Amino acid sequence: MKIKLSLAGLILVLLMSGCEKEVAYGKADKTPYATKECINDLSRGAEIDHGNKIDKIVVYKKKRMLYAYKNGKLVHEFRMSLGANGGANGGDKVKAGDYRTPEGSYSIVRKKCDNRLYKSLMISYPSESDKAKARARGVNPGGYITIHGQPKWNADGKGDNFTLSRDWTEGCMAVPNSAMDKLWAAVEKGVKIEIHA
């Protein structure tokens, strides 16, 4: 049992290489994530359900929970994973490559169809404050932090209990694909996100 768990952990690490690196779309999209169709919908704004838009996302790292609000009312709550070194005890993101999830107030700046991690919502990390703190330490603050879905091997969600039981990203927040679909339809550019310890 111990060997299987270790092997599974190794496979998870290998298959879930980070989220701070943007991956180019392949010419032949043969993944379970139809990025071409996703990009087409996104370019037309067809992914938004205007009747169910949210205006705020709140993340509590210690609880491993993401909450979505509309007009101050909670409308969705989702389990999530964090950066491999960014749990509640890992602290705030300090620099590129520290595998920590940032803390602070940000906004959604972009949607991305991803052939590795389903769909993603890019947040405005690093803020000017994050950049200033990094400069004072003489480090690069990093970037490309997102809320994203699951890797290709877990496209059907059957591995959600496994992925959500551990922190595995390079600093992003990973939710089940079913949760990502709800966020994708409800979030427009500019939605505020607060990330707490």
- What CATH number is associated with residue 116? 2.40.440.10
pLDDT at 90: 72
Would you say 154 and 164 are in contact if contact means Cβ atoms under 8 Å apart?
A: no
pLDDT at 161: 95
The parts of the chain modelled with pLDDT lower than 70 are 1-31, 86-89
CA 4, CA 59: separation in Å to the nearest integer?
32
pLDDT at 16: 47
How many structural domains comprise the chain? 1
Q: What does pTM read for this prediction?
A: 0.84
Could you list the residue range(s) of the whole structural domain that residue 122 is in? 2-196
Residue 79: other Cβ atoms inside 10 A: 17
pLDDT at 37: 85
- Read off the pLDDT of residues 53-87 as tens digits, 9 standing for 90 and up: 999 999 999 999 999 999 999 999 999 999 999 65
Q: What is the residue whose two structure tokens read 């964090």?
A: 82
pLDDT at 86: 65
